[in-house]
Structure 1
Amino acid sequence: MTSTANAAAETPAIPAEFQDALASQRAHFERLRYPSHEQRVADLKQMVRLVADNRDALIEAVNQDYGCRSRFETGFAEIAVTLDGLQEAIKHLKRWMKPQKRHVDPMRLPLARARLLPQPVGVVGVVVPWNFPIAMVFHPLTSIFAAGNTAMVKMSENSNHLAQLLKTLSPKYFPTSKLVFFEDGGGRGPAFTALPFDHIFFTGSPATGKAVMANAARNLTPVTLELGGKSPAIIAPDYDVQTAAKRVIWAKTFNAGQICTNIDYLLMPQDKIEAFAGHAREAFASAYPDINNGDYTAIIDQRSHDRLQAALEDARSKGARIVELAPDQTPDASRRIMSPKLVLDVNDDMELMQREIFGPILPIRSYRTREEAAQYINDRPRPLSLYPFTNDKSLAQWYIMNTLSGGVTVNDSILHVSVHTLPFGGIGNSGMGHYHGVEGFNTFSKLRPILYQGPLRAIDWLSPPYGQRARKVLELMIRMKS
């Protein structure tokens, strides 16, 4: 069997509903290749209505998928932030769509003009994770629709209630030829990413991201991969430990730590670790006096809950000390409520230090010098985020310049993601490509270079036959640029 036949044999079977939807969206794009500013704004405002009109139903669907998802956190991190991003796009879209002027050397191309025109790429496939499923639907859709494209969206297998709701709601606001939703299950993920989209946007784990990229390669489909990894926080010796504990524990317990940009491990001076642990316990007790009252989110499913417990046991068996942050509370195990824990005396042989945790567990390592901390980070795959805590601006800048990550928040964590004027995206193992704001608009646009030739054609001076005049002009060009 030839290699081509082998590749064809490995291609997943494509469900008819995927094929039909893609054909419908391609036809829609062929009819309207360049939607006007007014049409795009109308689409974005329609998306605002979809989210705002159905806010309570969306929040409840996510709560059902989790078993217990803090309604406040869903309202804040998914509804409010989504609406803010949509309004930001509506406000700036006209400027984003404007063709960009580029310089032309008047000596080589007299009276010529160069422009960069953002044009829609076509049909975009979106693969949505379960941890922030509303935001991870509508954040990329904001960029996709602002750029004038259509979208097919596949939800996570852990978001079935939300998937069914969006399948019901979406046709009331958009034709399926512009936006359509699919639930997951039965191996549909690989089939979805094997479709010949014009672009694929995926949020999830690095392992699944590699599979998505391999599927996309069959069709030479460009991909934007928003992955994860082990994002570190560094507490500098000068930073107040109580403030650090409050801010770190806020992040590590938001959505029960199930955030791709969350702090995955903490680096801090040895002599501050015990004080940090005490303040962390106080911070959690103040924020969550009752761990079972609905403010604190559950682990998404039993498999994930079991994985986290196994990782804790692995660390304990290898010499780690587990610090319980809610020692006087009994979490409701039937709802997969898992109280947060610090893990001290960790080493790199522990599972917690080898893969992304994605839960309310925070390993802490000591360091002695800034160089040691930076080297530890740089010896590992590029993280999605970096969080230096210091009042010394020069030290914060040193960490930024001597490490590499997707994004940075100084003296806090996660919050850079909520700034829509900043692009969001990873690097290396934590992803490729950006979205949010103008960078998201550009991601889903073809920035098409266009040259408008002037009435004088200077290239005629360099055309064959290559006589004395052509040689003199070439020599002049070289001398002028040397």
Structure 2
Amino acid sequence: MTLTSPRTTPVAQVPEEGITAAALSELLAAQQRAFLTEGPPSAAVRIDRIDRLTAALLEHADELTAALNADFGNRPEANSLSSDILGAMSDVTDVRENLEAWMADVEIPAAAAKGLPTHIQNRPKGVVGIIGPWNFPVSLVFQPAVEAFAAGNRVMIKFSEVPSRTAEVFARAVATRFPQDEAVVVRGGTETSVAFSELPFDHLFFTGSPGVGRHVAAAAGRNLTPVTLELGGKNPVVVGPDADVQVAAERVSAARMMNGGQLCLCPDYVLVPEDKVEAFVGAFRTAMRGYFPAYRENPDVVTLVDDRNFARVKGLVDDARAKGAEVITMVPEDEQAALPDAATRRMPPTLLLGVTDEMTIAHEEVFGPVISVLPYGTVREAIDYITAKPHPLAAYWYGDDTAEFREFVRRTTSGGVTRNDMALHFGIEGAPFGGVGQSGSGAYHGKAGFDTFSHQRTITQSALPFGVAPSAMPPYTAEKRDQLRGAVAQALTAVRKQLGESD
């Protein structure tokens, strides 16, 4: 089946790549004027925008998957269709089915009973800026844009410059369905990204690395722009003492190879009971050979996205090897000498043993098909190792729902947790997704995204026979002071009773 757009010409001009800061400001000003003129849009208008964005994506599916393949060097069509094209469709369904309920005012009955009728109004913020990453460049701008539209906003998207062909196709696709004062996609390198992050948006949403996230947050802070950061981190896996090692190895190996390892939810290191490390490594190798019986010419391999990332990942492995790690390359013997291959950016599935804190890979997110396996003696030791590091975006456990698993959940802090699989918490309808600390701030997906891009405004009316402000004005009589002091004493008595203390 070939998917093509029914439109032969865009309804809006596509901004030139490397758009100037002044032109970016003009685009933002046009969207702000349009938002103020329109006011908060109806549910029907919001759904229409979501449907048009979805149509733009699906109509250009063939072009987008071809562009993604070209940009990555090799990225199977099935990979791109499942992740970048279809990946957010369940979120679209969730938003469409629940939008009117989310938009409805929320009454506060207790306030009304006191003569102060109050409701909370969900208002759009205005214009939302979205800065996307290169690893899933389409879906990770599409989904926040859907939720920003659901909240009633207009949208400006800064597409990653790394997949440049994909950026051009996506920008053109959006222009077939939207005027620039409603939604627009801009392209360009570092200079454009910096200028974009410095615009005074009503909300800024960023997906990418913690290092770049710091700069985005600083730029947004200068405008007092609220910002949501979806970052990464070194995601741990704990193979519990009771876990089936074969199952754990099979699933962890697959999880590490998702998108060639270029996924913020991939496991970065695995903590395995010390007496099961050998069995885990053997099962990992068997599973990997099953997925990739050949690697060098295999069309199902996702290559590293560019020379820079290839060199960075290879450098992590070389550094670990030089500092004493055992490097196990899991490809057939006749391919060992030819991999890694810089010309095709094929980095082989690699497992490291003997990783220590002196090695760079112990601290830096890999973003490639490389994983470290670390032995542990007790679950407490494994948990202590994890908690000594910055909070990851995801944490994984293999084994039953035991007291040890519950202690792992209690003691560790992460964006989310999945047991016995990879990233299931990411796709649960109605559940928020986001990081914590170095792995991000804020959340989206469904209702959480609607709330992120909305302002919850409290509106109170007075039905009281007196004014609260005048009652707080002088003169402060002895009777009024005694009433206030009595209230303090009463509150103190109550809290001491809760603490189990006597007066």
Class of the TM-score when normalised by the shorter of the 2 chains: over 0.9
Q: Confirm or deny that 1:122 pairs with 2:126.
A: yes
Secondary structure at 2:372 match in 1: strand
Structure 1 spans left out of the alignment, 5+ residues: 1-12
Q: Confirm or deny that 1:173 pairs with 2:177.
A: yes
Query: What is the CA deviation profile of residues 389-428 of structure 1, one whole-angstrom value per residue up to 9, with x for unaligned ones?
Result: 1113332221010110111111112222122321111111
Q: Confirm or deny that 1:244 pairs with 2:248.
A: yes
Q: Confirm or deny that 1:86 pairs with 2:92.
A: yes
> How many pairs are equivalent?
468
Match 1:318 to one of 315, 323, 327: 323
Number of the residue aligned with 1:302: 307
Query: What is the CA deviation profile of residues 298-320 of structure 1, one whole-angstrom value per residue up to 9, with x for unaligned ones?
Result: 00111111111121111111111
Pair 165,105 (structure 1): closer, same or farther in 2 beyond 3 Å: closer
Number of the residue aligned with 2:268: 264
- Greater shift, 409-418 or 373-382, is seen at 409-418
Number of the residue aligned with 2:497: none
Match 1:98 to one of 97, 100, 104: 104
Number of the residue aligned with 2:362: 353
Note if contact 2:138-2:170 (Cα within 8 Å) is conserved in structure 1: no
Deviation for aligned residue 1:335: 2.1
Alpha-carbon distance in structure 2 between the residues aligned to 1:329 and 1:206: 38
Number of the residue aligned with 1:273: 277
Deviation for aligned residue 1:473: 6.2
Secondary structure at 1:112 match in 2: coil
Q: Confirm or deny that 1:396 pairs with 2:377.
A: no
Match 2:76 to one of 65, 70, 78: 70
Match 2:237 to one of 233, 244, 259: 233
Number of the residue aligned with 1:49: 55
Pair 227,424 (structure 1): closer, same or farther in 2 beyond 3 Å: same
Structural mapping, 1:8-47, within 5 Å: 15-47=21-53
Number of the residue aligned with 1:433: 442
- Give the AA of the match of 1:397: R
Q: Confirm or deny that 1:415 pairs with 2:424.
A: yes
Query: What is the CA deviation profile of residues 124-183 of structure 1, one whole-angstrom value per residue up to 9, with x for unaligned ones?
Result: 111110000111111111111111111111111212111111221112111111111111
Alpha-carbon distance in structure 2 between the residues aligned to 1:71 and 1:475: 72
- Greater shift, 452-461 or 96-105, is seen at 452-461
Deviation for aligned residue 1:290: 3.4
Note if contact 1:110-1:456 (Cα within 8 Å) is conserved in structure 2: no
Number of the residue aligned with 1:337: 346
Deviation for aligned residue 1:463: 5.2
Note if contact 1:461-1:469 (Cα within 8 Å) is conserved in structure 2: no
Note if contact 1:461-1:473 (Cα within 8 Å) is conserved in structure 2: no
Alpha-carbon distance in structure 2 between the residues aligned to 1:295 and 1:418: 24
Normalised TM-score (structure 2): 0.88
Note if contact 2:310-2:342 (Cα within 8 Å) is conserved in structure 1: no
Number of the residue aligned with 1:144: 148
Pair 329,139 (structure 1): closer, same or farther in 2 beyond 3 Å: farther
Alpha-carbon distance in structure 2 between the residues aligned to 1:456 and 1:397: 54
Deviation for aligned residue 1:186: 5.3
Note if contact 1:15-1:191 (Cα within 8 Å) is conserved in structure 2: yes
Identical columns (%) = 37
Secondary structure at 1:413 match in 2: coil
Structure 2 spans left out of the alignment, 5+ residues: 1-18, 495-503
Normalised TM-score (structure 1): 0.92
- Give the AA of the match of 2:98: H
